[in-house]
Amino acid sequence: MPIACRSGCGRNAFMRRPKTGDVLCKECFFLAFETEIHNTIQQEHLFRPGEKVAIAASGGKDSTVLAHVMNVLNKRYNYGLDLVLLSIDEGITGYRDDSLKTVAQNRDDYGMPLRVLSYQELYGWTMDRIVAEIGRSNNCTFCGVFRRQALDRGARLMEVDCVATGHNADDIAETVIMNILRGDTARLRRCCDIKTGSKEADTIPRVKPLKYSYEKEIVMYAHFKKLVYFSTECVFAPNAYRGHARAFLKDLEKVRPSAIMDIIHAGEQLQIKGTVKKPVRGVCGRCGFVSSQQPCKACVLLEGLNRGLPKLGIGKKSKGDRMVALQEQQLREKAHLVKNDF
C-alpha cells in the first residue's frame, strides 16, 4: 500500500530520509534538502550580497551538488552572489584528467566561469611523480597539503571574497574521529568550524554550506536530479588513513543513525585546556600563504622533493632538520674532496 508524503502535499512518498526518517515524495525531498542548506547559509551568515564566491569543484558528487544548489538558491533567494568554479589538477592520470571533464560540463550547465590550476604549474610536480618518489604510504599528506594551498592560490588569482567547499556532515565527522585518534588538538576544534579564515587576518575565508548534509542524501539528490558527476575513487586513496575513520563511522551509524550529527555537535562543544600549547595561525615567510608554522608545511614538503629528500616534511620537524643537516654536511664533504683533487 502506498505511503503518503509526510509533508501533506498529496503525493505518494518514494523515500525515507536517512537524516530525519521522514517519508517524502521526490519533490518535497528536493525542497527540504535545498531549504536546509539555505537555512544554514542564513543562520551562519556565510555570504554577503555582491560577493564573488569560488566553488571548489572536483567533479565529484559533493562539489557538483554544491554548485547546483548554490546556483538554485542564488536565484531563488536573490543572494546577489557572483559564482565561479575553481578546480585543482593534481596530475593523477586516469582520475583527475577524467573528473575535470565533468567540471567542464558543470561550467557549461550553470554558466559559471572556470579556472583550473595544476600542481605542475604551481609546484613543478604532479602527484604521479610524487608517488613515484615517496611511495603510497604518505602520498595523501602531500596531496592534502598542496591542495589546500592551491585553493588559496587560486582564490587569490581569481580575486574572490570566499571559497565554498563541498565538505559534508560525514566528512566532518570523519575528520573529528581522525583528529581524536591522532591527538591533534590544533585541528580538532577548527575542523568543525563552518567558516575559517577572515579578511581581517589577511586570508580568504572558506565556508562549508553542506556541513549538515548527509552524504547519503547528497548522493540521492544528485541521482534523482540526474546531475552529471564523477564517481571513481582516487587511485591512490585505498591506503588513506581517512578510509579507516570512514569504515568506523559507518559501523557506528548502523547501531546509532544519529552518530554523524552527534559527533559533529560534540566536536563543536569541545574546549581545549588553557595550558595546552596551541599553534598560532599566521603567514608563511616564504610563500606568503596562511600557515601555523615557519616555513609552512607546503614549503617544507616542496623543499624535500626538490632536495631529493621526499620524506623531509613527514613526521616531526626535528627529524626533518636532521635530514637537511646531514645532506648539507655530505654536500660540504663532497665539495671539499673535489677541491682537494685540484
> Annotated binding site: which residue ranges?
56-58, 62, 88, 166, 171
CB count in 10 Å sphere of residue 148: 16
Starting from the edge strand earliest in sequence, which strands make up the sheet with 114-118, in order? 114-118, 82-89, 52-56, 162-164, 206-207, 195-196
- Closest by CA position to 193, among listed 257, 269, 249: 269
With a CB cutoff of 8 Å and minimum separation 6, the contacts of 190 are 196
**Dihedrals phi, psi of 130, to nearest 5 degrees:** -65, -45
Extended beta strands in the chain, E state: 15-16, 23-24, 52-56, 82-89, 114-118, 162-164, 195-196, 206-207, 282-283, 290-291
Q: Are strands 52-56 and 82-89 parallel, antiparallel or unpaired?
A: parallel
CA–CA dist 21, 9 (Å, integer):
17
In sign, the C-alpha dihedral spanning 83, 146, 59, 65 is negative
CA–CA dist 156, 149 (Å, integer):
11
CA–CA dist 228, 234 (Å, integer):
18
Residue carrying the nine cell digits 588569482: 157
What are the angstrom distances between the C-alpha of 241 and each of 90, 136, 139, 182, 253? Answer: 19, 12, 11, 11, 19
DSSP-assigned letters across all residues of 149-167 = HHHHHHHHHHT-SEEE---
Binding-site positions for ATP: 56-58, 62, 88, 166, 171
